[in-house]
Structure 1
Amino acid sequence: GATQAGRIDLIAGLASSYRHKNGKRTPPNEDTAVNPNFAIDAARIYVSQKADIDRYLGLAPVPMHAPAGRSCIGLEADAIRLHSRNDIKIVTGRARYENTGKDGERLSNGGKNEVVGTISLIAGNYTDEEDRSFFDITRPFGRTKDSRRKLQPIPKGDNLSECLEDIVKSLQELSALVGDNTSMIQKMDLALSRHTHAIGVSPIAPYAPQALPPVPIPAVNMPGYSATPFVQTKSADSMENRGQFNKNLEAIKFNYLNEHFGSDYINSKYVFTT
């Protein structure tokens, strides 16, 4: 009964899955009167000047969706295909027309179009929060449970690529710090292994030998450090492992973050989003 609510309704297979009293779902017979129904019509194109299309189609809610009472086009069928021999654009927001005033293209009801609409790709027609359970290292004998929203934003490829490059760079810088630390441990170990004390006689009975303050004269010395072989071996292993670690980081950058040569470059060459 709404005014200014013209429509074009194209239906192929009216009530094709109609439920009969015996429970079977087949098209109704000639004596059965039925109305168009998105739930049981085989395929339908619905063009309306004013409608609540999400409710008509039984679609899951999404953030910032257009309110009811707007012009719309609804398509429903078992399968829908869009094929372009060149390219396809899915665009929300005002069209870039000339001579439409400072507010640009208006909505179908004459209102200002000031909000950029969202694009929601929903598999399964479900957008409620979903429960999840995951292992928490701080609770080895239990699992942490929480919920997470089902409908999530899509990462932007270039931004994600830059983020991963920054992460790899930070790991390389951390690796360099570990290498510097290992080198300093080696130097300290060598310094300790060469550190000597001259031996003197205690002035107190029973006059046992004792180490004197460090002097640069290699007199009769007592060995004061025995961990050198272990430290030097482990330090060498650490340096070798760090070299392999850095090579792996470079391989990650080349394979996944190199737009021109990466075999598994993370961004698509043909699909783009804002």
Structure 2
Amino acid sequence: DRNGEEIYVDPSMKKDAARIYISQKANIDGYFKLAAGKVGKSTARSGIGIKADAVRIIGREGIKLITRPESKNSQGGKIEFVKGIDLIAGNDDSGLQPMVKGDDLISLLISLVDQIGQLNGIVQGNLTAQITVNTAMLAHTHAIPGSPLPDPVFQGIVAGMQSKLGIQGAISQALSRVGGEFLKMKYLKPVSPTYILSRYNNTN
């Protein structure tokens, strides 16, 4: 103090300008007042906490963040399941969501683009059929004067187009529905190995 007397205070994880905390057994999240996230809070486990105004981790040949390299923790207890990595901005985990796995997302988008291309083909087929009908109507005349009678040639064209479009449309719609359900099962269901979201890693 001003009189030269030493003043002893408890350490403050909040007020210290910078701190590296290492402990064999600690409640590291509680000490630093950290959000639980999806990983949860560490209790009575060895821990290292690093806090400062700015923390930088630099690796000239890469950086790895790895969880559960062994099957037991520092206390000798068995680690029952894999915990992932949470990236939490603002120490607020309320909006935490699973990260997207890029390769699987690309595969899904390619499949969707292919399905859209198939739908475009169906639309183009319908347009071509409609042009055929319109052309037949332009050339249509009645051979018998008076009350108009159905033209058998025109009737044949329309009937043929309707039959063709009906069959093709039913098949295309069925295949499209099956394809859509397949994509949902393959990429959007957590049980699938190609699920586009990470089962372990989250961010906000």
Structure 1 residues 63 and 155, CA, compared in 2 at 3 Å: closer, same or farther? Answer: same
Indicate if the aligned counterparts of 2:20 and 2:48 stay in contact, CA closer than 8 A. yes
Q: Does 1:163 align with 2:138?
A: no
Aligned to 2:81: 115
Listed as ranges, the matches of 1:179-218 within 5 Å are 179-200=124-145, 209-214=146-151
Aligned to 1:69: 44
Distance in 2 (CA, whole Å) between partners of 1:151 and 1:30 is 48
Which amino acid letter does the alignment assign opposite residue 151 of structure 2?
A: P
Structure 1 residues 86 and 167, CA, compared in 2 at 3 Å: closer, same or farther? Answer: same
Larger RCO: Structure 1 or Structure 2 (Cα < 8 Å, ≥ 6 residues apart)?
Answer: 2
Distance in 1 (CA, whole Å) between partners of 2:54 and 2:28 is 19
> SS at 2:137's partner residue?
helix
Listed as ranges, the matches of 1:229-244 within 5 Å are none
Deviation of residue 37 (structure 1)? Answer: 0.7
Structure 1 residues 39 and 213, CA, compared in 2 at 3 Å: closer, same or farther? Answer: closer
Indicate if the aligned counterparts of 1:45 and 1:73 stay in contact, CA closer than 8 A. yes
Indicate if the aligned counterparts of 2:29 and 2:42 stay in contact, CA closer than 8 A. no
Aligned to 1:13: none
Higher helix share: 2
Aligned to 2:117: 172
Aligned counterpart for 1:124 among listed residues 71, 90, 111: 90
> SS at 2:147's partner residue?
strand
Larger Rg: 1
> SS at 1:211's partner residue?
coil
Structure 1: which 5+ runs fail to align?
Answer: 1-28, 96-104, 129-149, 201-208, 217-272
- Alpha-carbon RMSD across the aligned residues, in angstroms, is 2.0
Deviation of residue 31 (structure 1)? Answer: 4.7
Aligned to 2:169: none
Q: Does 1:42 align with 2:17?
A: yes
Aligned to 2:57: 82
Deviation of residue 61 (structure 1)? Answer: 1.8
> SS at 1:59's partner residue?
coil
Which amino acid letter does the alignment assign opposite residue 74 of structure 2?
A: S
Deviation beyond 6 Å, 4+ runs, structure 1: none
Distance in 2 (CA, whole Å) between partners of 1:184 and 1:164 is 30
Structure 2: which 5+ runs fail to align?
Answer: 154-200
Distance in 1 (CA, whole Å) between partners of 2:5 and 2:126 is 87
TM-score (norm 1): 0.51
Listed as ranges, the matches of 1:216-231 within 5 Å are none
Indicate if the aligned counterparts of 1:45 and 1:75 stay in contact, CA closer than 8 A. yes
Aligned counterpart for 2:66 among listed residues 73, 76, 91: 91
Q: Does 1:57 align with 2:29?
A: no
> SS at 2:69's partner residue?
coil
Structure 1 residues 212 and 172, CA, compared in 2 at 3 Å: closer, same or farther? Answer: closer
How much identity, in percent, do the aligned residues show?
41
TM-score (norm 2): 0.68
Indicate if the aligned counterparts of 2:67 and 2:84 stay in contact, CA closer than 8 A. yes
Deviation of residue 196 (structure 1)? Answer: 2.6
Structure 1 residues 82 and 213, CA, compared in 2 at 3 Å: closer, same or farther? Answer: closer
- Give deviations 1:15-45, integer Å, cap 9, x for gaps: xxxxxxxxxxxxxx85533111110001111
Distance in 1 (CA, whole Å) between partners of 2:122 and 2:45 is 60
Which amino acid letter does the alignment assign opposite residue 68 of structure 2?
A: G
Distance in 1 (CA, whole Å) between partners of 2:81 and 2:152 is 80
Distance in 1 (CA, whole Å) between partners of 2:144 and 2:109 is 59
